[in-house]
Amino acid sequence: MKNKAPVLFLLAIFITGMLFGAAAKSGEEIPSLYQAYKEYFPIGAGVEYWDLLNHREFIVKHFNSITAGNEMKFASIQPGEGVFAFFRADEMADFARKHKMLMRGHTLVWHQQYPSWLFADGAKPASKELVLKRLADHINVVVPRYKDAVYCWDVVNEAVSDSMSEFLRKDSPWYKATGEDYIAEAFRLAHQADPDAKLFYNDYGTTRADKREKIYVLLEDLLAAGVPVHGVGMQAHWDIVSPSISQLETAIRRYASLGLEVQITELDISLYSGNDKRRFITDPEELKERLEIQAEQYRDIFAVFREYRDVITGVTVWGLCDARTWKDNHPVRGRKDLPLLFDLDYRPKEAFWEVVDFESL
Ligand code: HAH
């Protein structure tokens, strides 16, 4: 069968253009997203190198924080042992410095996008000592390099398992090599490398009761052991039906009860609920309805973020606009999603207006 993805993509552009073209406003009439939130918390975006080459002005207008979408991950930065490829990450950090934006570092330890040499010792798996030595070498090079640009790091990403019968992900190469020790070690090393950096544990599924409690226990144990952890990153890859407002509030309160900061680190709201594996919706009525529900969901969750401004120290959306988003390939490969605040042409969606129109303090 022929691949229909390009046709569906064009149809998506056409339909959303029809729906929102009429509401388009000129540049000056569009408020800056981050300025609308200046009394609350910084507003960030997950940015790709490509975005930086092509959409600098848009980024500067709407965001006062950035996170590198991929460019600071282990495989990007240290593709070969002792071989560092800094240029993309360096340009991003320079951009943040130049425009006096905050920058979040993402991410030092993750079970994906790592280089294959990291866990190998010739033909054998690398020993625990060797893996922890390589972790130390990596952190001691990367963290000091971006010390004056990056104010907080996602030190460990997604260590907790999704399975009800497992605590930490045992199939992670980090776990296989070191057991659970890599987590505390990474935080200690990052703290030594930059004592001023705020150090975060970052994960998805943070509002789901079972995973929330595991993350809580992990953080409680780390804090009890004196490990320098300062915050929880709630990735917030959500959708138009979940989480509920009460699940969201419960999670924020639960993490805050440990005395930790909370940041929303990778926000997007899919048009599809987690188990909806259909192709792109082509019925204009249905699409319109879903975009309306999405706008309401954005409105309601930002109202919660504002309410918890004492605890929430940053909100980052995972991408600039619907033209390019990781959700186009996740969880359904090639299915166009429209999960962000700006449309395919970088124009505000209804969701954007719901987020910026509120009674301020
Ligand atoms: C996030 N994982 C990662 O933190 C980020 O680095 C990446 O660019 C995109 C999403 C979310 C995730 C996943 O990778 C696999 C399954 C569920 C969620």
Q: Residue 134 falls within a domain, yes or no?
A: yes
Whether the predicted pLDDT of 163 surpasses 50: yes
Per the structure, the complete domain to which residue 227 belongs is given by 39-356
Looking up residue 321, the CATH number of its domain turns out to be: 3.20.20.80
Q: Residue 195 falls within a domain, yes or no?
A: yes
Torsion of CA 49, 50, 51, 52, to 10 degrees: 50
How many distinct structural domains can be found in the chain? 1
Instruction: Give the SS3 label for residue 353.
Output: helix
Cβ of 326 less than 6 Å from ligand 1: yes
Q: What is the CA(99)–ligand 1 centre distance, in A?
A: 27
Per-residue pLDDT tens digits for 106-138: 999 999 999 999 999 999 999 999 999 999 999
**pLDDT, position 223:** 98
Q: Residue 295 falls within a domain, yes or no?
A: yes
Q: Residue 3 falls within a domain, yes or no?
A: no
Per-residue pLDDT tens digits for 234-261: 999 999 999 999 999 999 999 999 999 9
pTM of the model: 0.94
Which residue CA neighbors atom 18 of ligand 1 most closely? 204
Spatial CA neighbour of 222 closest among 262, 261, 175, 188: 188
Per-residue pLDDT tens digits for 139-154: 999 999 999 999 999 9
Q: Are 35 and 62 in contact (CB under 8 A)?
A: no
Q: For the chain, how are helix, strand and coil distributed in percent, rounded to 5?
A: 45, 20, 40
Cβ of 157 less than 6 Å from ligand 1: yes
Q: For the chain, how many helices (H) and strands (E)?
A: 13, 11
Atom of ligand 1 nearest to the CA of 154: 4
The mean per-residue pLDDT over the stretch 269-281 comes to 92
Q: Residue 1 falls within a domain, yes or no?
A: no
Q: Residue 121 falls within a domain, yes or no?
A: yes
Q: Residue 22 falls within a domain, yes or no?
A: no
Per-residue pLDDT tens digits for 24-76: 555 669 999 999 999 999 999 999 999 999 999 999 999 999 999 999 999 99
Q: Which residues are catalytic?
A: 158, 266
Q: Residue 105 falls within a domain, yes or no?
A: yes
